[in-house]
Structure 1
Amino acid sequence: MLSSKKRLVPLAGSLAALALFAGCDTSGTPPDGTPFGKTQVLLNGSKDSVRTEETNLGDLTADAYLWFARKTDPSTVLSLRNSGGIRESIDAGEISQLDIEKSLPFNNALVLVTVTAAQLEQVLEHGVAATAPDVSPGQFPQVSGLRFEYDASKPAQVFDLDGNLVTEGQRIRQAAIVDGSGNVVDTLVSNGALVGEPDRTFRMVTLDFVVALGGDYYPFPLFESQNAARYNLVALDTTPNNQGFNDVGREQKAFADYLAATWPASGPGYAQADTPRDADTRIRSVGP
């Protein structure tokens, strides 16, 4: 079981990381110096949007983490992050260090884990468990290599503080692993039911806040306690603590490098405007 003491770590850990970020600058150049990328459109990091639906900034950050993770482990198939760590939108134009730091202020470290199909369904159920009208929960996920549909009118998954599953969620109606072109490579959930062998595994990248610290009450620590060898937690940041913007293996650097490689300031820039909720493709609300 997952102790309640371990559940108390995330807030202290995130505040410590924010304090460290605020008190150090290891970049060596002004935050508004050389641009790392360009966007033709507003990248939507608004709290009311990013915590309730897919946004283009949510997509880009999740894509960046998957891109970075695959350099270390090519078997990584999906990326998932909590939306609570996205704090500001990025205006159209060149994207500076300061833009990235404001949008991703906690600069969480990236980690690799392996989850079973059944566990991944639980992760997704938890991601939408707090979704309700006029609520903007930080646990709401943004994803890459994955798409899913949910119905927030159905029963939500509930864990107690010891990590015991009290209520099985029924909100995830469809879910699938997809390739870079959006083609389905593995159907996870269909019509609300888990499909295939529940113990088949998927390598994924996420943030240490939701994994090592159990942030936003995601059940990852429970998965590690069940089978640590299979879970195979690997930290992608190998330096002590949070070393700031240029710390390889943390989200700011991964996002900056992805922009430079994919949407450089010298090119036309990212052009996918944020879409209305009913036109989203990775995360769709299908409830009433």
Structure 2
Amino acid sequence: MKNLKKNQFQNHQRKKRKRVIMKKNQFQNHQRKKKEESDNEDEPDGASKEVFPDQPQDDESDSDDSDIEDGTIFDPQGVNKQEIEDNVSDEETETPSEEVTDSINNIIEELRLKSELPLDQYLTNTEFELTAYDFNTAVFMAKHEETNLGDLIADAILLGAKKIEKVDFSFISGQRIRGNIKPGNITVKDILTILPYDTPICISEMSGQSVLDTLEMSAKDYPFYNDGFLQTSELAYMIDVNVNSTVVLDDKNNFVKVADERRVKDVLVGGQPIDPKAQYKVAAECKVINDKAFGYVFPDAKIINNDIGTPSDLVIDYIQTMDSIPTRYIFPLGRITNSDNDYYITITDFVLNSMNGYSDAIVRKNETNLANLVTDAFLFISKLLDEDVEIALVNGGNIRGNLTVGKINYNNVITTLPFSSLVSITEVSGQSILDALEVGVRKYPNISGGFLHTAGLTYAIDPEIESSVVVDDSEPYNIFVEVSGKRRVHSVLVNGKPIDPKRTYKIIASSFITRDKGDGFVFPDANVIISDFALPSDLIADYLIRLDRVPEEYKQPQGRVVFKKTPQ
């Protein structure tokens, strides 16, 4: 069983790597296409979209019930279709409108008439694919894992609801999301195609305990499909795959109780632990809250507003004011995680250090072999998205442990890089990089969480020169103002060549330092290219899983940060 789960985890990581490469190609192809387009944008074309196999494509189809909707699913491991227990009522599988019975296209036309927007109405554009389904592997992702399209839709529902009530979070079932949107312009028809159901969103109030029971119901079949698997906004949680679901259902497949240990853990609402006794306002499908769709039961739910619009209404309202879909949606945002963290990724024959034997955080004032590995991982993965990235910067405070001799599993990686600050690709000047390096070493020989580790860049520190960095009195970090005197950082090389203060460089780093002024860093000329696209721990895991074992070159620090006097 453990080997099976290990293989599942590794397969998932391989699929993630393919998606990274695919998104890189999509992003670059779209940028290339934009350069080739003429200036005539009077009638923008709709984005290319993918709908699920077997979904009707025209009015000649006899039914709108695709294989994916009628209880038949694709096995996540690529096996032939298998039958699953149907938790959707007969009403759920019928076309939502009595006037519409033949095809998805008819549903789209009905929604168009209600929205009074033409199908070819331009809304915005996207430079990367928004996905609910992996056509390469026949995996219906939205029914068993978080997806970037699920994140976008859940965010649209939440923000739409917040215009009416002070809503805490939102969710939508993966079964409602019926296709992908490829890079390009997005039209009304694209949104109605991926969200064809005319089921309204309502706002309700319920207890934290009802929310916890709902998440158990959502995760009961994980890692296999569940039509009711929930995509969420401002609601985050972890599924413990080592705990079997103990959800009890009645003879109609409706939720009754959780009989034993719960597999959903670490539930956060707006970043805070959920309180089972507190009351929360939720934006979700009315059929889920009121009609026991997918077997959900909310015994204490109180409806506040029974119709704030359909999911397609709310998504259209959300995206039509955007210049383009924000790059934070390139990858899922990490709202739904799982405990597949104890599965083998690679092996190391030597210790990878951030701490010494006395538990001193040497990574906060010296180069370490683990810091070399981390920055190399940052740079490697970033180049899959943008091959022009030259430098990786990682603050020492981001690295919180050692990787010991032996097998490395995902939990080890998360423990070593535990923070949730996402990484971004950003353009900055050489001068901003030089100033950042000065900030990083201003406290030396004392430790500093801002001590910078690098890939693609090397530098030297003259410890005999006192730091002349001027900072303000901001809390919790003293923010950089200027370097008022002689610099202690020198001999800065980018890929072996002296850094040019006037040149622009593409870097990858945590948004904590490039945008949020964490540890006092300031990048005044920063231009974000790809924003908040991955967790540091995911970058390291995706890099390490490619390695049979950690290479010998990481046995010792590689001399990227050295201490020597400034040349005369």
TM-score bracket for the superposition, by shorter chain length: 0.7 to 0.9
| 2:292 is equivalent to residue 214 of structure 1 | yes
Q: TM-score, normalised by structure 2?
A: 0.39
What SS does the corresponding residue of 2:328 show, helix, strand or coil? coil
1:210·1:216 contact (CA, 8 Å) conserved in 2? yes
Task: Show the counterpart of 1:174.
Answer: 266
* Counterpart-to-counterpart distance in 2, 1:11 and 1:93: 37
* Counterpart-to-counterpart distance in 2, 1:8 and 1:84: 11
Decide which of 208, 216, 228 is 1:125's aligned counterpart. Answer: 216
Alpha-carbon distance, 1:284 to partner:
0.4
Task: Show the counterpart of 1:137.
Answer: 226
With over 3 angstroms needed to count, the CA separation of the structure-2 counterparts of 1:106 and 1:271, relative to structure 1, is same
- Which consecutive residues of structure 1, in runs of 5 or more, have no partner in the other structure? 1-6, 179-183, 189-195, 225-230, 238-248
1:36·1:259 contact (CA, 8 Å) conserved in 2? yes
Q: What does 1:1-288 align with in structure 2 at a 5 Å threshold?
A: 10-17=89-96, 20=100, 21=107, 24=110, 25-26=112-113, 27-31=115-119, 33-46=120-133, 48-73=140-165, 75-132=166-223, 135-156=224-245, 157-160=247-250, 161=252, 163-165=255-257, 167-168=259-260, 170-178=262-270, 184=271, 186-188=272-274, 196=275, 198-220=276-298, 222-224=299-301, 231-237=302-308, 249-261=309-321, 263=322, 267-272=323-328, 274-275=330-331, 280-287=333-340
1:76·1:204 contact (CA, 8 Å) conserved in 2? yes
Alpha-carbon distance, 1:136 to partner:
1.8
Q: Write out per-residue CA displacement over residues 161-204 of structure 1, whole angstroms, 9 at most, x where no aligned residue.
A: 465326245111211112xxxxx2x202xxxxxxx5x3211101
* Counterpart-to-counterpart distance in 1, 2:229 and 2:330: 17
* Counterpart-to-counterpart distance in 1, 2:327 and 2:221: 31
* Counterpart-to-counterpart distance in 2, 1:140 and 1:78: 16
With over 3 angstroms needed to count, the CA separation of the structure-2 counterparts of 1:58 and 1:282, relative to structure 1, is same
1:158·1:168 contact (CA, 8 Å) conserved in 2? no
> Which letter does structure 1 place at the counterpart of 2:230?
P
Alpha-carbon distance, 1:251 to partner:
1.1
* Counterpart-to-counterpart distance in 2, 1:66 and 1:107: 18
> Which letter does structure 1 place at the counterpart of 2:183?
A
* Counterpart-to-counterpart distance in 2, 1:104 and 1:174: 30
1:148·1:175 contact (CA, 8 Å) conserved in 2? yes
2:150·2:174 contact (CA, 8 Å) conserved in 1? yes
1:41·1:272 contact (CA, 8 Å) conserved in 2? no
With over 3 angstroms needed to count, the CA separation of the structure-2 counterparts of 1:153 and 1:204, relative to structure 1, is same
Task: Show the counterpart of 2:496.
Answer: none
Task: Show the counterpart of 2:468.
Answer: none
RMSD: 2.5
Alpha-carbon distance, 1:68 to partner:
0.6
2:92·2:293 contact (CA, 8 Å) conserved in 1? no
* Counterpart-to-counterpart distance in 2, 1:61 and 1:126: 21
> Which letter does structure 2 place at the counterpart of 1:272?
R
Identity of aligned residues (%): 21
With over 3 angstroms needed to count, the CA separation of the structure-2 counterparts of 1:22 and 1:101, relative to structure 1, is closer
* Counterpart-to-counterpart distance in 2, 1:187 and 1:91: 36
2:152·2:329 contact (CA, 8 Å) conserved in 1? no
What SS does the corresponding residue of 2:327 show, helix, strand or coil? coil
* Counterpart-to-counterpart distance in 2, 1:29 and 1:62: 22
2:255·2:296 contact (CA, 8 Å) conserved in 1? no
* Counterpart-to-counterpart distance in 1, 2:89 and 2:304: 18
* Counterpart-to-counterpart distance in 2, 1:210 and 1:58: 17
> Which letter does structure 1 place at the counterpart of 2:235?
L
With over 3 angstroms needed to count, the CA separation of the structure-2 counterparts of 1:117 and 1:92, relative to structure 1, is same
Q: TM-score, normalised by structure 1?
A: 0.75
* Counterpart-to-counterpart distance in 1, 2:289 and 2:237: 21
* Counterpart-to-counterpart distance in 2, 1:99 and 1:268: 15
> Which letter does structure 1 place at the counterpart of 2:277?
D
With over 3 angstroms needed to count, the CA separation of the structure-2 counterparts of 1:37 and 1:107, relative to structure 1, is farther
Q: Write out per-residue CA displacement over residues 32-85 of structure 1, whole angstroms, 9 at most, x where no aligned residue.
A: x22112211100121521112111100000000001111111x20100111010
> Which letter does structure 2 place at the counterpart of 1:66?
L
What SS does the corresponding residue of 2:171 show, helix, strand or coil? strand
1:62·1:80 contact (CA, 8 Å) conserved in 2? yes
With over 3 angstroms needed to count, the CA separation of the structure-2 counterparts of 1:79 and 1:29, relative to structure 1, is closer
* Counterpart-to-counterpart distance in 1, 2:210 and 2:218: 12
- Which consecutive residues of structure 2, in runs of 5 or more, have no partner in the other structure? 1-85, 101-106, 134-138, 344-568
* Counterpart-to-counterpart distance in 1, 2:324 and 2:92: 39
* Counterpart-to-counterpart distance in 2, 1:268 and 1:259: 8
2:227·2:294 contact (CA, 8 Å) conserved in 1? yes
